[in-house]
Amino acid sequence: MPSLAERVVSDLRLLEGSEVLVFGDAGVGDLTRIAEAAGGFERLTILYRGLVTPVWAKALGERGAKVLRSHLYEHNDFLAVSSFDAILASNVLDGLLGKREFLGEAYRLLKPGGRLVIVQRLWPASRLKRKAFLRLIEGARSYRRVVEEVRILGAYVVLERPSNG
């Protein structure tokens, strides 16, 4: 069975030169594998929400990743429209008030044909309940659903921004 990083690399269709945006902590090992597939750490942009840069993000920043603070994951006007080939959202939805707005923001940031992978713990491992998560994904009509695996305690979903949209 492939590791999470191998699966994300495959599902995001990462190639040398892919620009990747990361919301949340996917783990240094997984992000290292993702960076290798994309062509280096300079291809990663990591957004964090806290007041202090997380230690893991600092470590990746020292290796070339762009590390930026985002007050709201749902609105990032400092990032250009259609600037990323791929987005990874790792366990961030449960802490957001604007979950639908987040999906809209990811759509805005993705290039046509780009993909969003959502890895999310579900209640009781987080505040986000399975039914609410399913409603959110079903409501993401702008995207094409590529993979939808929603289990009792977690979900793995791949959404694609259509090339014509």
Residue 165 falls inside a structural domain: no
The domain of 96 spans 4-160
pLDDT of residue 58: 95
Domain count within the chain? 1
pLDDT of residue 4: 85
Sheet holding 44-48, edge to edge: 66-69, 44-48, 20-23, 84-90, 110-121, 154-160, 144-150
pLDDT, mean of residues 1-21: 92
pLDDT single digits (tens) 36-49: 999 999 999 999 98
Give me the CATH number covering residue 116: 3.40.50.150
pLDDT of residue 50: 86
pLDDT, mean of residues 6-13: 94
The whole-chain average pLDDT of the chain stands at: 94
pLDDT of residue 165: 53
Residue 145 falls inside a structural domain: yes
Residue 114 falls inside a structural domain: yes
3-state DSSP percent of the chain in helix, strand and coil, to 5: 35, 30, 40
Contact present, 143 and 116 (Cβ < 8 Å): yes
pLDDT single digits (tens) 55-112: 999 999 999 999 999 988 888 999 999 999 999 999 999 988 899 999 999 999 999 9
pLDDT, mean of residues 117-137: 94
In the chain, pLDDT over 70 holds for what percent of residues? 99
pLDDT of residue 164: 79
Segment (H or E) for 20: strand 20-23
